[in-house]
Amino acid sequence: MIAALLEKDIKLYFRNRFFALISVLALGVYLALYWLMPASAEENVSVALYIEQGERTRLDDLIDASLESTTRFASETELMNAVNGGDYSVGLSLSAAQAAAIERGEPVTLNLYVAPGTPVELRQTLGEVFGYLLNWSSSAENAQRFQFVTTEEVLGPDLLDGTISMRDRLLPMLLLLVLAMEILGLATLVAQEANQGTARAILTTPLRLGHFFASKTIFGVGLAFVQVMLLIIATGKITSSPLLLIIILLVGSFMVTGIAFIVAGLARDNMSALGWGMLALIGLALPAFVVVFPAVNTGWADLIPSYFLVDGLHRTLNFGAGWADISRNLLYALIIGVAAMGAGALMLRRRFQ
């Protein structure tokens, strides 16, 4: 019985030329976008600088001569905003007292502001480099060499532990978009059957409502999973951690299928299904921007269900995270999927009765 319903669903889905075409085109566009992105990360270090002093000193000359890509700011607040926005890799702020102490050859604690996503190794290296440069800037004669103590403050959530290319950062977003796109197709298919009375007609046969939901679940999960697997295989990233990635994508396919049921339950016709589906797609895609642009995350992304999915993909693909590292993400995503599936099935049951 379920096999017959699956066969019917597949025929109805691909009979709709819009969804059949958009599924193929979307995969092609996402894959092209992935390969067009830079394969290596930008390794130049840009420095934001603020020194609170009235006139130019030897310290200024030393910094300008030693560091490239340095921009001076009028205030420490402007410097912090620029670093937090990702425009600069690191910011150095020196008060007038600190600058004077350096001129006298006295030990000083440097205040380094580090951009979100700056690798740990780079943060440590930057502290050592600044300490070394300023150590030799003392104008005091016969001053003893001294060691600076550097303190690091990561402005924003530190999501990265290493240099990651834009291509690799973008991949979790593309995978999430492929999954979310299936909400439109499945929700429209279910809403169409409900509006045309096909679902009620099917339920008058020996088929039960459980068979109907089982076939739709298998179809939705299978369609989303096949497409997202095609994308990750084409990028060559499936070799990173095959079994773990398959489980993550299966859980993600299950979650978006449950959300598609909710959308179908809310929709009253095909256009309504598309409208609710687009709203769900946009909402689910928002956490993916946190991966590409870590500085924009202020904690809001954790409130969106798809965050756990895209975060798990990001850590597995780009950091080699294992089962223990993303078990929490998988559990939350699965719970959300079960809750969405239950809520959607309840809403559709009321429509069919």
**Mean pLDDT of the 84-112 span:** 77
Sheet with 70-72: strands ordered across:
70-72, 47-51, 90-94, 109-114, 149-154
Please state, in angstroms and as integers, the Cα–Cα distance from residue 66 to each residue in 48, 131, 351, following that order: 14, 12, 71
Band of residue 140 on the pLDDT scale cut at 50, 70, 90: very low
Domain ranges of the chain: 2-38+164-352, 47-154
Q: What is the residue-wise DSSP string for 54-90? A: SS--HHHHHHHHH-SSEEE-SSHHHHHHHHHTTS-SE
* pLDDT of 347: 86
Question: Given the DSSP bridges, would you call strands 90-94 and 109-114 parallel, antiparallel or unpaired?
Answer: antiparallel
> What single letter denotes the amino acid at residue 307?
Y
Smallest CA-to-CA distance from 159 within 118, 113, 127, 125 is with: 118
Left, alpha or beta for 51 (phi > 0: left; psi -120 to 50: alpha)? beta
- CA angle 170-175-176, nearest 5°? 100
Asked if residue 315 has pLDDT above 50, the reply is yes
Instruction: For residue 235, give the 3-state DSSP assignment.
Output: helix
pLDDT in tens, 43-68: 556 778 888 765 666 666 666 666 66
What pLDDT is recorded for position 196?
Answer: 67
Identify the residue with better confidence: 30 or 119: 30
Q: Is the pTM of this model over 0.75?
A: no
What lies within 8 Å, CB to CB, of 155 at 6+ separation is: 80, 83, 84, 113, 114, 115, 116, 295
User: What is the arithmetic mean of pLDDT over 29-34?
Assistant: 85
At residue 141 the predicted structure's pLDDT band, cuts being 50, 70 and 90, is very low
CA-to-CA separations, 344 to 179, 238, 347, in angstroms, rounded = 17, 31, 5
- For 333-338, what is the mean pLDDT? 93
Number of H helices, E strands in the chain: 14, 5
What span, in angstroms and rounded, lies between the C-alpha atoms of 4 and 11?
A: 11
CATH superfamily entry for domain 47-154: abc type-2 transporter like domain (3.40.1710.10)
- Average pLDDT over the chain, rounded to an integer: 77
Which of 62, 59, 61, 79 is CA-nearest to residue 71?
79
Distance CA 181, CA 231 (A): 13
Rounded CA-CA distance 71/62 in Å is 14
Query: How far, in Å, are 81, 98, 134, 291, 333 from residue 114 at the CA level?
Result: 11, 19, 18, 17, 32
